[in-house]
Structure 1
Amino acid sequence: MTSIRFFHVADLHLDSPFKGITSMPDHQLKILRDSTFVAFQTLIQSAVQEKPDFILIVGDIYDGEDRSLRAQHKFQQGMEVLNNHQIPVFICHGNHDHLGGKWTRFQLPSNVHVFQKKTEKVHLRIQQQDVYISGFSYKERHVKEAMISSYSQANDNEAIHIGMLHGSLAGDKTHDVYAPFTKDELISKNYDYWALGHIHKRQVLHMEPPIVYSGNIQSRHRNERGPKGFYDVTLEKGDAQLTFIQTSAIIYDQLSCSCKDIVHANEWFAIIEEALDQFRSKYGAAVLELKLTEVDASTLAMLEGTPMDEWLSMVRESQEMKDPLIWVQSISIETLETIDMESSGLTENVISVMNNWDIKDWKEIVSDVYQHPRLSRFMETLTEEDYKNIERSASAFLQKELIVKE
């Protein structure tokens, strides 16, 4: 049986504005803002080197309806490189780069096929193997109806059938729901591979047949942690091999650092620098949330003696001249349980009240910030996990503040 090889890519979000980053020096901010382009270039270089039979790009090439001229130019140049190496590309546009958006039209080379608003099926012949690729592009930003019924049934058992779909698993409320589908609906089409886009978390929903989200190629904020990239897929009838290829130029993550038995500031700075250097050598450039663990009463008293903003500023200063870039976005403290037990009745009463708040209550608490006419447009929508993190941080803050003052 003949196998084929292709790259499954989605959610490039070229020229993303990178919300939520504050205080970063201009030269470092430029590195961050260029990271989607660096990730895209890594994809192009990988294709030139590995020469897959074709590439699938499953939506959201750009970050919004008003595509920047730079993003469009970079993308067109990348497609020209692939054309020079005779690598076909199949594109379906998603909710961020829908067909109705505003853009300066660049003519894409002949190796690129762009699916239109009506679902269609394209035929390829690869080493005596018939391959059919089906997909559609969003005609507008909000495609709420299920589109799976528009995909034809795969009846030719000798050919390889691939579906491209930018959409959401029905019932998943963690993201905006577009073009919803169920796994059973996809399986029933008898396709050999479903290449999904829209959800930025890399995941395999089903393996026989593969129903796969490749995730985005570059993290853009704190909720998109870990390495990002695409899948290099080798596929034949009844078998698929998926290899993850990292493209992310900068990783967003949380780094835990033990402060056990730390009583002096120089000791603290030493363990923090060591932890950051180890992360850098393993993963490269990053935006990190630093989490201090095993913090006892002595360490807590030392840290509380100076505003946390000063500790954060000193950590950032220690990393300024190091390459690749590591930007510490925040520092949080996780105290030992023995400290928690010493908290006052007042602390426990306040925390108990907070524990009874639901998502609606927390939305009201933060509404002044998220309804601000100027600030709100620069802020990401909070998820249920974000609200849980706010609750945990508030509890830890109350414990530290009241313990130190007692």
Structure 2
Amino acid sequence: MVSFRFIHAADLHLDSPFIGISGLDDDLRSFIQESTFRALERLVQLAIGEQVDFIVISGDVYDSSNISLRAQLRFLDSLNRLGQEGIAVYVIHGNHDPLDSTKLSMTLPSHVHVFGAEPAAVTAVRRSDHQEVAVIAGMSYPTSKVTDNIAIRYPAPSPGLYHIGLLHANVDGDPQHETYAPCTKKELVQAGFHYWALGHIHSRRTLQESPYIVYPGNIQGRHVRETGPKGCYVVDVDGSFNTKLSFHELDSMRWNIVEAPIDACRDVDEWRRSLESILTETARANADRLSMIRVRITGRSPVHRQLEGGHILDELLTDLRRREAAKGKTCGYLGCVWIESFSLQSGDAIDTERLLAEDSFTGDLLRLVRKEQERIHDPDGVVAKGLEPLMEHAEIRSLLDEMTPEEMLDWVRRAEELTLGLLLRDRSREEGAGR
């Protein structure tokens, strides 16, 4: 056996529309909408620079089953450039771009292999001498809904070569993602492959190292739920099948959640200056990309009451965005920091620990709320029961279904803060009247 190198990428989501981002001018919107294509360009440059023997792409090349011509042509151009360098490409399609997608029929170059609607295997060779190095198995989704376990149908590995399985699936039933092609880690281990190149989950995860079972994540974050560096793995395999992974960033726009506490601030202007220092540091740390951030306002102080109304945050958001938009026109948006939204998770200057220990209606209520926060997704919990009437409305239900546990928890925390404010104000009035 000889050594070889390949790239494992997944979830390119080319031509993602990036809907729902507010306040953008035309130039910034264009920059954002090009970000998936820039990530693809960086992927091609990485493959050439690292002199890889081949690339595997584990599903969702495109963002939608109604595939745009622009996305097809840009992907084809990238494939042709890789072909000029002798780099083969092996592709499966996933739930976003199944084989029955609406698209222009195009003839792909001979160095590109797209797996069909049934599990199959092909042999990959080393680029320099065409020596056989790996057997690659895979299957594309025939339709967008593949709910059976396709991994157990993959061809069994044979001795002699390194075996790679391309699979677009939800392994072990991650509740935050749709359960497509469900399977278990145990089943993948027992299959006898050396490397499972997974797709579908957009966060980078190595589920196991022997054999390797790997999600590289998507190559470009598309919203605030997809935070942190995005990219792909360069995988080196030596003559003894020892495997080494190296992650490479490809994103030109990075999503993050940034905390801006109010605890030490005496007034709004002091907090604003603190926020601007945080934004400056964020820009400095990400000078070669656009930072898209959600500012999470935390802590307790009287400043919360001034921010709670919303108009101060709205005006500040408009001004900060205006400045970044002007800056972006001179620097191409690299090094800019765009605030997607403010998330008010702060509170008034209340001693919650004292209230939790207190034998009173307020203390009882606060203890109940904290208990419900711990079982927020319990179907018998107060939150679930309270939302039941809303779940009867299809549009509202679809919005609630898309909420993350953290976003749902934010709702409960906000309700806690509003209720505490009302109760304590009423109690202060009663105590004042009693004096």
TM-score, length-normalised on structure 2?
Answer: 0.83
Q: Gaps (5+ residues) in structure 2?
A: 328-332, 373-380, 429-435
Alpha-carbon distance between aligned partners in 2 of 1:400 and 1:321, rounded to the nearest angstrom? 40
Deviation at 1:122, TM superposition (A): 0.6
Partner in structure 2 of residue 79 of structure 1: 79
Q: Which moved further from structure 2: 336-345 or 43-52?
A: 336-345
Partner in structure 2 of residue 394 of structure 1: 415
Alpha-carbon distance between aligned partners in 1 of 2:391 and 2:316, rounded to the nearest angstrom? 26
Structure 1 residue 285 corresponds to structure 2 residue 296: no
Q: Which amino acid counterpart does residue 248 of structure 1 have in structure 2? A: D
CA contact (8 A) 2:345 2:410 kept: no
Partner in structure 2 of residue 219 of structure 1: 221
Alpha-carbon distance between aligned partners in 2 of 1:27 and 1:393, rounded to the nearest angstrom? 35
CA contact (8 A) 1:203 1:214 kept: yes
Q: Deviation string for 1:182-221 (max 9, x for gaps)?
A: 1121111211111001111110011001000111111112
Q: Which moved further from structure 2: 251-260 or 98-107?
A: 251-260
- Aligned pairs (5 A) from 1:123-138: 123-126=123-126, 128-138=131-141
- Figure out how many residues of one structure are paired with residues of the other and give that number: 400
Alpha-carbon distance between aligned partners in 2 of 1:17 and 1:315, rounded to the nearest angstrom? 24
Q: Which amino acid counterpart does residue 261 of structure 1 have in structure 2? A: A
Q: Which moved further from structure 2: 277-286 or 390-399?
A: 390-399
Tell me the SS of whatever aligns to 2:79.
Answer: helix
Structure 1 residue 326 corresponds to structure 2 residue 340: no
Which of 308, 314, 320 pairs up with 1:315? 320
Q: Deviation string for 1:55-81 (max 9, x for gaps)?
A: 001110111110011111111111111
Alpha-carbon distance between aligned partners in 2 of 1:305 and 1:394, rounded to the nearest angstrom? 15
Partner in structure 1 of residue 206 of structure 2: 204
Alpha-carbon distance between aligned partners in 2 of 1:328 and 1:30, rounded to the nearest angstrom? 17
- Aligned pairs (5 A) from 1:11-50: 11-50=11-50
Which of 307, 316, 319 pairs up with 1:303? 307
Alpha-carbon distance between aligned partners in 2 of 1:2 and 1:205, rounded to the nearest angstrom? 26
Structure 1 residue 239 corresponds to structure 2 residue 262: no
Alpha-carbon distance between aligned partners in 1 of 2:90 and 2:143, rounded to the nearest angstrom? 19
Tell me the SS of whatever aligns to 1:176.
Answer: coil
Tell me the SS of whatever aligns to 1:24.
Answer: coil
Tell me the SS of whatever aligns to 2:39.
Answer: helix
Tell me the SS of whatever aligns to 2:170.
Answer: coil
Q: 1:204 to 1:246 in 2, by over 3 A?
A: same
Q: Deviation string for 1:255-303 (max 9, x for gaps)?
A: 0123343224443332212111211221331221112233412x22443
**Cα RMSD after superposing both structures:** 2.9
Identity in percent: 34
Which of 242, 245, 254 pairs up with 1:251? 254
Deviation at 1:104, TM superposition (A): 1.0
Q: Which amino acid counterpart does residue 35 of structure 1 have in structure 2? A: S
Alpha-carbon distance between aligned partners in 2 of 1:49 and 1:26, rounded to the nearest angstrom? 34
Which of 358, 375, 382 pairs up with 1:357? 382
Q: Which amino acid counterpart does residue 131 of structure 1 have in structure 2? A: A
Deviation at 1:399, TM superposition (A): 4.5
Q: Which amino acid counterpart does residue 153 of structure 2 have in structure 1? A: S
Q: Which amino acid counterpart does residue 389 of structure 1 have in structure 2? A: D
Alpha-carbon distance between aligned partners in 1 of 2:60 and 2:418, rounded to the nearest angstrom? 39
CA contact (8 A) 1:152 1:189 kept: no
Q: Which amino acid counterpart does residue 179 of structure 2 have in structure 1? A: V
Tell me the SS of whatever aligns to 1:270.
Answer: helix
Q: 1:6 to 1:74 in 2, by over 3 A?
A: same
Tell me the SS of whatever aligns to 2:244.
Answer: strand
Alpha-carbon distance between aligned partners in 1 of 2:386 and 2:231, rounded to the nearest angstrom? 37
Partner in structure 2 of residue 195 of structure 1: 197
Alpha-carbon distance between aligned partners in 1 of 2:46 and 2:389, rounded to the nearest angstrom? 47
Structure 1 residue 270 corresponds to structure 2 residue 281: no
Q: Which amino acid counterpart does residue 219 of structure 1 have in structure 2? A: G
Structure with larger Rg: 2
CA contact (8 A) 1:53 1:87 kept: yes
Deviation at 1:13, TM superposition (A): 0.6
Deviation at 1:328, TM superposition (A): 0.9
Deviation at 1:352, TM superposition (A): 4.2
Q: 1:241 to 1:70 in 2, by over 3 A?
A: same
Partner in structure 1 of residue 402 of structure 2: 381
Alpha-carbon distance between aligned partners in 2 of 1:345 and 1:98, rounded to the nearest angstrom? 56
Alpha-carbon distance between aligned partners in 1 of 2:244 and 2:183, rounded to the nearest angstrom? 24
Alpha-carbon distance between aligned partners in 2 of 1:65 and 1:89, rounded to the nearest angstrom? 21
Q: Deviation string for 1:82-120 (max 9, x for gaps)?
A: 111111000011111111110012322221111111111
Alpha-carbon distance between aligned partners in 2 of 1:312 and 1:364, rounded to the nearest angstrom? 34
Deviation at 1:19, TM superposition (A): 3.4
Q: 1:238 to 1:63 in 2, by over 3 A?
A: same
CA contact (8 A) 1:269 1:315 kept: no
Q: Which moved further from structure 2: 188-197 or 254-263?
A: 254-263
Alpha-carbon distance between aligned partners in 1 of 2:125 and 2:36, rounded to the nearest angstrom? 33
Deviation at 1:364, TM superposition (A): 4.1
